[in-house]
Chain A
Amino acid sequence: MIIRYFADIRELMGRKEETWTKAVPDMRSLLEGLAAENGSAFGKRVFDGDQLNSTIILFINGRDVVHLKGLDSPLKSDDVVAIFPMVAGG
């Protein structure tokens, strides 16, 4: 699975993307795994309690998890996950 980081999440992680090889059934498990490996700052940034922080946008293969099953959205080994903060422009 490829995980891509953008904007301040990229700065927080110190890298643009990585390949994740551990088995994770869903998005929540992936974020918890990333938080465990990368320190508390990542966990604080993406979670609000046990919910997704409202300022974080998560895509699985280009689809916002809000339109899938949220943090319960299932993941496969060949998925591409993108993690954004809420950004905008125009």
Chain B
Amino acid sequence: MNGYSGTILRVNLTTGAVTRQATDMKDAALYIGARGLADKIYIDEVDPKVDPLSPDNMMVFAPGPFTGTFAPSGGRYHVVTKGPLTDCIAGANSGGSWGPELHYAGYDALIIEGKSAEPVYLWIKDDAVEIRSAAHLWGKWVPDTTDMVRAETDIDAKVACIGPAGEKQVLFAAIMNEMHRAAGRGGVGAVMGSKNLKAIAVVGTKSLSVARPKEFKEAVLLGRKGIKEHPVGGAGLKAYGTDVLVNILNQIGSLPTNNFQDGYFPTADKVGGESLAANQLVRPKGCFSCVISCGRVSKVKNPKYAGEGEGPEYEAAWSMGPDCGIDNLDAVTHSNHLCNEMGMDPISFGSTLACAMELFEAGLITLKDTDGVDLSFGNVDAMVEMTRKTGLREGLGNKLALGSYRLANSYGHPELSMTVKKQEMPAYDPRGVQGIGLEYATCNRGGCHVKGYTIAVEVLGCGAKLDPHATVDKPYWVKLFQDLTAAIDASGGCIFGTFGMGGDNYSAMLSALTGVTYTTEDYLKAGERIWNLEKMFNIGAGMTIKDDQLPLRLTTLPIKTGPSKGELSHVPEMLPEYYKLRGWDEKGVPTEERLKDLQLA
């Protein structure tokens, strides 16, 4: 039971029943926890064809074994459900302190079933679990919700909640914990809203046990040392945050601009991490047991956009910045604060707005549609106004709330949506960085960078230095990063820990913590098992090889300007090798042999 609480909490919002079940330790050994264990619980119980916003859908919140220990940057929890944006598996994780608190309350997972007839919130204090009315909270934004729930439960309670975006089922609504940390992607907040579940407040006073304390301490200290001595984990991320990437991606000509119409934005520096550090940054901030502190506590003094909050991260600075033709960091920071306060994924929001801007410039969206707002690229005020309207589903925001695929499709031009599996791609143009395109195309939760972050080796030189324009060996690296990330997610770790730690560090910590011996190969195999489990769910949901593709623009229209001018994505050429490395058939279906090898059949 070391590293685990041993109990899974199940709350049925339809009946009000609160039950408990023992954590299946065989599954825990195979799927580790967090993303892996939540996947296993969810996929065992839910029909992959379920309507994501129906009461039949389920949500699983789960910390990992590391969560609540002093494993470096290991305090994360994962939310697993079927995503309303993508209609496939949605897994989103978040830092802060909510995950450790759930683990301290005694739970390896929290299962939410059904739908409440009225708005409610959940109040968990160790063994005491209450479903309370949230009628007075409905409509409140994230900061007020958090403060009010803490005031009426425990001032030290950790609160995960939705804002108006989740209530109104914006398809990319997020779940926010401690106000500013987000389980951000895929619309997990909309699923919570569909269940009339406004918040989950937790206080935990129990502890976690460690199988081999001395060995665990040594492994943790070695890992911490690795991160602290790494130029990125030890200093770079704390000084400049993730937004430091704006300039490096722009300098190689792979900063998607104006809805991926180009890969270079001449004034990108104005929204980069250096500018953020000089103008909006109040202080760096870390999550539970974090030794990195990439978080940005930020303040905008410009009266037009004044306010305090956190962020933006690189992806948000890009999506609401260069992807919309915007270089005003005060406005971008303000809109990022709005996204946090309304509970909305800024990547999908910004990219959806960029799509709307292209539709507007093409004359397909008109001033009548926008209530007179000029939606041209570069219009800062329009970006800020549309942020608010989308979170509240007002005017054109009601259509933006559906994401760019459904928006563009409603105007007869789905090809203008820069999505994979209907989820907006992040801030790396796959025409200039080949491996990340393969990650976007094959990621189980749709267009996403963090589940296989090959930018580390294709651009940043962390661990290896590959030519970003080349395709050779990229399928190998994509698979390796996907498997390792799945295992780290399942452990409750932050992927930024890889800026200083490797698979050997993670497997050593997990072995000493749980008492179950994992070699580095075992650890990667657990990740591969998780990846294949999610893949099988997606196949059951109706996904095929056609869903493992990038938008046609990226394989047919070269980047127009900048250092990567003329480049195209070569995902179609890389895909067969990727499938082969995974042990899947030519259509991307896992073979029986591979599934047996992974103990999935």
Contacts and interface: CB of A to CB of B under 8 A. Distances in A.
Interface residues of A, number: 24
B243 interface: yes
B236 A87 contact: yes
A6 B245 contact: no
Contact of B236 (A54, A88, A90): A88
A86 B245 CA distance: 10
A1 interface: no
The secondary-structure label for the interface of chain A is: mixed
**Chain B interface bracket (under 10, 10 to 19, 20 to 34, 35 or more):** 35 or more
Interface stretch (B20-28, B190-198, B283-291, B448-456): B448-456
Interface in B248-283: 248, 251-253, 269, 272-274
Contact of B496 (A7, A8, A90): A90
B152 to A, nearest CB: 37
Nearest to A16: B269
B70 to A, nearest CB: 23
Interface in A32-90: 54-55, 57, 59, 61-64, 66-67, 82, 84-90
B350 to A, nearest CB: 16
B274 A87 contact: no
A89 B450 CA distance: 10
A4 B251 CA distance: 9
A89 B241 contact: yes
A62 B565 CA distance: 10
Contact of B453 (A16, A66, A86, A90): A90
A16 B244 CA distance: 14
Contacts of B251: 4, 6, 59, 62, 82, 84
A86 B243 contact: no
Given A6-B274, A62-B251, A62-B564, A87 B465 contact: no
A88 B462 contact: yes
B243 to A, nearest CB: 7
A10 B460 CA distance: 18
A61 to B, nearest CB: 6
A17 to B, nearest CB: 9
Contacts of B273: 7, 87, 89
B54 to A, nearest CB: 33
Contacts of A55: 231
Nearest to A61: B563
A27 to B, nearest CB: 15
A49 B461 CA distance: 20
B461 A90 contact: no
A1 B473 CA distance: 34
Contacts of A57: 248, 460-461
A10 B232 contact: no
A87 B455 contact: no
Nearest to A88: B232
B458 to A, nearest CB: 10
B6 interface: no
A87 B563 contact: no
Contacts of B313: 89
B558 interface: no
B467 A85 contact: no
Given A7-B273, A89-B237, A63 B248 contact: no
B239 interface: yes
Contacts of B294: 89
Interface in A10-39: 10, 16
Contacts of A88: 232, 236-237, 242, 244-245, 455-456, 460, 462, 496, 499
Given A6-B274, A7-B274, A86 B269 contact: no
B563 A86 contact: no
Nearest to B460: A88
A54 B495 CA distance: 22
B269 A89 contact: no
B465 A7 contact: no
Given A6-B247, A89-B245, A66 B465 contact: yes
A90 to B, nearest CB: 5
A90 B314 contact: yes
A60 to B, nearest CB: 9
Given A86-B462, A87-B248, A88-B460, 18 more contacts: A4-B251, A7-B247, A57-B460, A59-B251, A62-B253, A62-B563, A63-B563, A64-B467, A82-B248, A84-B251, A86-B236, A87-B245, A90-B242, A90-B245, A90-B449, A90-B450, A90-B453, A90-B496
The 9 closest A-B pairs by CB, nearest first: A62-B563, A89-B242, A89-B245, A88-B232, A55-B231, A82-B251, A89-B314, A87-B244, A86-B231
17 contacts: A7-B240, A54-B461, A59-B251, A62-B253, A62-B562, A62-B564, A67-B467, A82-B247, A86-B232, A87-B240, A88-B237, A88-B242, A89-B237, A89-B313, A90-B245, A90-B315, A90-B453
